[in-house]
Structure 1
């Protein structure tokens, strides 16, 4: 008898899962997938040499190093099997930290380090690693030691996926050709930094091995992440995602008489403005992804501020750049919506006005309140400030809320 899981036996669920992979409805791969069957027919093979990494990635996956897709990677091996191989490529720093810690522990008269010292050393490994573990094709993974040997790098150095992309010359369904000169140039550019990383490892290992570290481990249930994860698990188990954020009362909707109170608060002009170096730090370090998401000539379509003017202090006192990529109301467009990137303050204003209108209309709450407003409507009610929070033109906002209430009521009314 199979083990029940609420939807039939485990074996039944297992077969449904395999059937999903076989028909392509589950975004994974496997020996039974449509892609594998196509490739076996194309190469005339009857057996497959497939790694777990290949099976765990979707059929349209492409190698982050060489850029080849799965149909361009697969080939027949010497045994006549269809070779479908992706592997995890990693920096060797974690292994090096572990080995150096052990070496320095045993070098002393007696071992004074303990398990917490070892964990302290392990926590330092990501700091000295050059890249995150990545899934790449077997040919790219093999190109790494081949290039290292040809160039004569340090034995513990490894090329990142981005660097492998620079020195491999990919071929369809064949091993790579390696550009040794390019691989050598990459190593020469990293040699000094790699020596510095080795010194950091040696120092960290020494601190850990002599038990002079500062790491104090908490039991797992006491850690903040664990507390939050447990609460989130309970809400999911009870079919109420998001409800935990209302337990403390902070997110309960205000009484209807005060739903507009938020926009009557006047935000004073900022007393401190960012210096050029503050904006440069935001653009290159703390908010580089957001900064590069829009071009230099971008202006917020809601308030008209430039990227530079949008930089402002957070509640914690840090300079920030917040953008909001939202779906806004656009009658006549598909689904009556159009996406736009606005500044975070315009995104917040749209959310608050949309929420106010929903509460006024007695409508069901929504996950994206901005969907009830056009970008042009935001522009008509906003009073922007460089490097500060928006204020609101309240007379215009009163009229806008009334208009949006009618819009929400119309949208919620079932069509006949």
Structure 2
């Protein structure tokens, strides 16, 4: 009989941040990033040093081709009006699933029986592939924009939760290298009409199945214990040896560090401002004092100190004062929300389990902006249905305003604003995902707290119930379910602490 000998593994883990671009290219040869030879060549070709390259672009190889427009990366990259090279790919998913999940939740609310909750969740996951018209697909930013423009043009003619498939998008776009697509609205209308009955049929199917599951049909008993392991793969053995050889402090986040090294966001907060136009007549000291006295009673004005500048147009309190149509000086400051990207490595990995897109929101902050900048969003919503409070970011407002004129309303190119709002569709999805994540975390916290009170259990024992449910619902090992439960509860506490500071 052969003896099984102890295997010594000598591993030298690369420090990603210290690698040269060429060395990183060797390690991450099936990825792309600001370090790749192709990206550098594109920057030189378009004569710019500014780069906006997202994780979708970074996650694919240099020869990737868009399934809609059939362009490869060198023909997709283009320069924005601000001189930034845009290298962006976006996940395109079927919004019929959002509607289907809402319908499903209405018929199958969560209850106290965890085994039923597991069965209902599994039934939902099994049902969704039968409802969606296409799988989540990575497409170029211009195809994603074209789909948004088509839906905007058709407006109320089509269902709000309808999404064009990648093959349907291809039928109504006119493609050119390194340019935004032109959209044929009539062809888009024909694509919608061709899919309309199928869309309605899938929604009807969703309602019928949600009712059947709610009535106790399609139950499937949950197997106790851990998942049965199948054939062992070489990569599993190698990873175990690797993990054993690493110091306990090693975080196992090489992939995340490569992504952070790959992406670039030079576009944030930058704009090419036009020359400043002549000032109008400012208010006198007495007139400004009158405005200040009146507005001091509002919370936002009081929160803005004497050194405050609008973060979008860079004007102080005095310069945002302007005359109304009745000839009276007026000014207001508004509180708006700015959403911030997630920067915790563990949260990024775990949030992507449920996230619809690549952008992951970790938190938000309240920002004080002037009435003229706030009015840009209000006017956008008035001019075009379908946009919301978050359709334009603070960076977008800076770009649109350019060099602001004191004591005057901003002159805005609203066609450009609409294009920006359409391009922000992934951000809107990320914001919705953030609030869904918040609900999941707080729901888990409430479940544990309720269980400790009803069953007189310890916190850790009640937590184990949440871990078990997560593991069985998602087909994980029980230890993985416990780890996810711990993270989810930690997120709930972080959210509670954060929201207490801003209340």
TM-score, length of structure 1 as denominator length: 0.49
Give the greater-gyration-radius structure (CA).
Answer: 1
* Higher RCO (C-alpha under 8 Å, 6+ residues apart): 2
TM-score, length of structure 2 as denominator length: 0.41
